[in-house]
Amino acid sequence: MINIGIIGCGYWGPNLLRNFTGLLDCSVKIVIDIDYARRNYVKEKYPQIATSSQDKDLFSDEIDAVVIATPAQTHYSLAREALENKKHVLVEKPLAMSVKEARELIHLAKKNKLILMVGHTFEYNKAVQELKRQIKKDIIGTPYYLYSQRLNFGIVRRDINALWNLAPHDISIFIYLLEAMPISVSSCGYDFIQKGIEDVVFMSLEFPGHIAAHIHVSWLDPSKVRKMTIVGSKKMMIYDDMANEKIKIFDKGIRRENIKDSLGAFDDFKKYQLLQHAGDVTIPKINFEEPLKEECAHFVECILKDKKPLTDGENGLRVVQVLEAAQKSLEQEGKNIKI
Ligand SMILES: NC(=O)c1ccc[n+]([C@@H]2O[C@H](COP(=O)([O-])OP(=O)(O)OC[C@H]3O[C@@H](n4cnc5c(N)ncnc54)[C@H](O)[C@@H]3O)[C@@H](O)[C@H]2O)c1
């Protein structure tokens, strides 16, 4: 039985709390929040769970693992404190606000033989796992390019921009699908509501093998969009997280075929035709489970069986490396930054 302490119970924390309390092999012992109203929420809904405003109450001997769902700027210091106190840690995305901080956390977890996991929830999403299966099975052929949109009306953050708040999901999904780090990134962002805090960010990334990627994130948009398109040499896929049929695979592609000249030889330079084909649309069946439930169960399993988490510290670091480079690019008017 793993005893858990959760810190931060605002918008996202209650989802973690609900999922961890629903698992059999762990028990949530305490929830910490500096906000009185949020502690009251916990007291009313879960009277058996202790509450406190003091982080130090997370570090009692009774607690084995700490779950951090506070604002991003606090992740590093809270995770460090927890690891120093010999607690396993699940920290919400982003793992930290710099590569240096992320590396320190990894080092500390390794040194103290503790599990460090980051909440890249979409890697536990069955639809995203299906996209990867399709790519690995070569159903769509060579990926040419992919792009995603993560848009909504709110929640407007005051502490971090839309890049650090929303793009960790898309970056983690792209790295997971392509099993590679991007080579470079260039990003532009616009701060309309609060000076210096970008509400909308457009990122262009290049992955090895001439694969292009684009990410558009915004909290200043009329509608909620969570959509990703992946175009391959044989087929194309659309993943719409808001739809019931989450993935559609389009048997569409354009083939370049050489035309034989009068002597029967191939002319590679000029004589070719572009053959367009458009076949069926397939909708793979997905046995959907709440991704956060999978993530929470995975964290507990990794502690109990001393397993490496799917989204371990290194995984969190890779996303922070991309975010840091994208932030640099934002500050240099879209300059292409090598990662
Ligand atoms: N994985 C996902 O899909 C997902 C979705 C939303 C948010 N998140 C992440 O969850 C984290 C929290 O986001 P949120 O939307 O819930 O924010 P929020 O502001 O709604 O909640 C944060 C809570 O933490 C408390 N808090 C702040 N500093 C604290 C401290 N030092 N000690 C104790 N409590 C403290 C606040 O009082 C608040 O209740 C962020 O890192 C965010 O990126 C993840």
pLDDT in tens, 207-243: 999 999 999 999 999 999 999 999 999 999 999 999 9
Give the distance (Å) from ligand 1 centre to CA of residue 3.
21
Which token pair is 270? 């000029």
- Number of neighbours of residue 289 by Cβ within 10 angstroms: 12
Task: Tell how strand 236-240 and strand 247-258 pair up.
Answer: antiparallel
Nearest ligand 1 atom to alpha carbon 74 = 31
| 260 confidence band (pLDDT: 50, 70, 90) | low
Give the distance (Å) from ligand 1 centre to CA of residue 93.
10
How far apart (Å, rounded) are the C-alpha atoms in residues 29 and 10? 18
H-helix or E-strand spanning residue 218: strand 211-218
Note whether 102 and 118 are within 8 A (CB). no
Q: In Å, how far are 114, 126, 205, 317 from 19, measured between CA atoms?
A: 22, 17, 34, 25
Confidence check: pLDDT of 257 > 60: yes
How far apart (Å, rounded) are the C-alpha atoms in residues 328 and 281? 40
59, 92, 171, best to mutate for ligand 1 pocket (most atoms within 8 Å of CB): 92
Residues with CB under 6 A from ligand 1: 7-13, 32-35, 38, 55, 69-72, 74, 92-93, 119, 121
How far apart (Å, rounded) are the C-alpha atoms in residues 295 and 176? 15
Give the distance (Å) from ligand 1 centre to CA of residue 157.
11
How far apart (Å, rounded) are the C-alpha atoms in residues 303 and 237? 36
Q: Report the CATH superfamily, name and number, of domain 2-122+292-321.
A: NAD(P)-binding Rossmann-like Domain (3.40.50.720)
Which token pair is 208? 């090895």
Q: Residue 294's closest CA among 20, 31, 25, 95?
A: 20
Chain-centroid distance of CA 63 in Å reads: 27
How far apart (Å, rounded) are the C-alpha atoms in residues 112 and 250? 48
Give the distance (Å) from ligand 1 centre to CA of residue 318.
22
Nearest ligand 1 atom to alpha carbon 35 = 37
Handedness of CA 106, 122, 65, 159 (dihedral sign): positive
Give the distance (Å) from ligand 1 centre to CA of residue 193.
21
> Average pLDDT of 100-125?
98
User: What is the structure's pLDDT at 269?
Assistant: 57
The structural domains of the chain, with segments of one domain joined by +, span: 2-122+292-321
Averaged pLDDT of the chain: 95
Chain-centroid distance of CA 320 in Å reads: 11
12, 15, 163, 241, best to mutate for ligand 1 pocket (most atoms within 8 Å of CB): 12
7, 51, 70, best to mutate for ligand 1 pocket (most atoms within 8 Å of CB): 70
> Average pLDDT of 270-299?
91
- Atom 19 of ligand 1, nearest CA residue: 10
Residues in contact with 69: Cβ distance below 8 Å, sequence separation at least 6, in sequence order: 6, 7, 8, 9, 10, 12, 13, 16, 92, 119
Give the distance (Å) from ligand 1 centre to CA of residue 336.
32
- Atom 25 of ligand 1, nearest CA residue: 8
Q: In Å, how far are 163, 167, 204, 323 from 335, measured between CA atoms?
A: 16, 18, 11, 14
Nearest ligand 1 atom to alpha carbon 72 = 41
Chain-centroid distance of CA 313 in Å reads: 13
Which token pair is 301? 């399993």
- Atom 28 of ligand 1, nearest CA residue: 70
Give the distance (Å) from ligand 1 centre to CA of residue 68.
8
pLDDT digits (tens, 9 = 90+) for 47-83: 999 999 999 999 999 999 999 999 999 999 999 999 9
Handedness of CA 291, 296, 297, 299 (dihedral sign): positive
Give the distance (Å) from ligand 1 centre to CA of residue 302.
23
| 255 confidence band (pLDDT: 50, 70, 90) | confident
User: What is the structure's pLDDT at 336?
Assistant: 97
pLDDT digits (tens, 9 = 90+) for 20-54: 999 999 999 999 999 999 999 999 999 999 999 99
Nearest ligand 1 atom to alpha carbon 78 = 31
- Atom 43 of ligand 1, nearest CA residue: 93
Nearest ligand 1 atom to alpha carbon 33 = 34
Give the distance (Å) from ligand 1 centre to CA of residue 70.
3
Ordered DSSP codes for 106-158? HHHHHHTT--EEEE-GGGG-HHHHHHHHHHHTTSS-SEEEEEEEEEEE-PPPS
- Number of neighbours of residue 162 by Cβ within 10 angstroms: 25
